[in-house]
Amino acid sequence: MARFHVYGLKQSQVLALDLQSDLLERLSTRMMAPLLLAEDVSKPMARLNPQFTINGKLYIMATQLMAAIPLIEIGELITDLSAHGDRITAATDFLFQGF
C-alpha cells in the first residue's frame, strides 16, 4: 500500500484513495477517502473535494467521508495520484485545520 494510490475495495464498487503516511505500514488499517463519481455528488466544495479523472471517468474525493479501512478489505491498485499530492493534502488540511 502507498500514500496517494487508489485501490478498489473488495466488497464494493467503491474506489478509495490512500491518505496514510507510508511510515505507518505496520498498522492493520489504512486511512482512506472514497472517490465518488462526480455525477453522484451534488455540490462538491473545490478545496475539500478535489476532482480526478480515472479511466475516463470524473471522480470526487469525499474527504469528509474518510475512514480507516482494514487491509483485508483493500483490493487491487487502480492508479497512482501522487502527482496530485499537494491538492490531496490541501483537502485534508482544509478538513482538519480550516485552511
Give the 3-state secondary structure of residue 3.
coil
Confidence of residue 95 (pLDDT cuts 50, 70, 90): very high
d(CA 8, CA 78) in angstroms, rounded, equals 7
Confidence of residue 52 (pLDDT cuts 50, 70, 90): very high
Tens-digit pLDDT profile for residues 55-75: 999 999 999 999 999 999 999
- What fold does the segment set 5-97 form as a domain? SH3 type barrels. (2.30.30)
Which residues in 38-99 belong to E strands, given as ranges?
A: 51-54, 57-61, 67-70, 74-80
Tens-digit pLDDT profile for residues 34-51: 999 999 999 999 999 999
Question: Please, are residues 4 and 78 in contact by the beta-carbon 8 Å criterion?
Answer: no
**Exposed, middle or buried, 15 (CB in 10 Å: 0-12/13-18/19+)?**
buried
Confidence of residue 80 (pLDDT cuts 50, 70, 90): very high
Give the mean pLDDT of the chain: 97
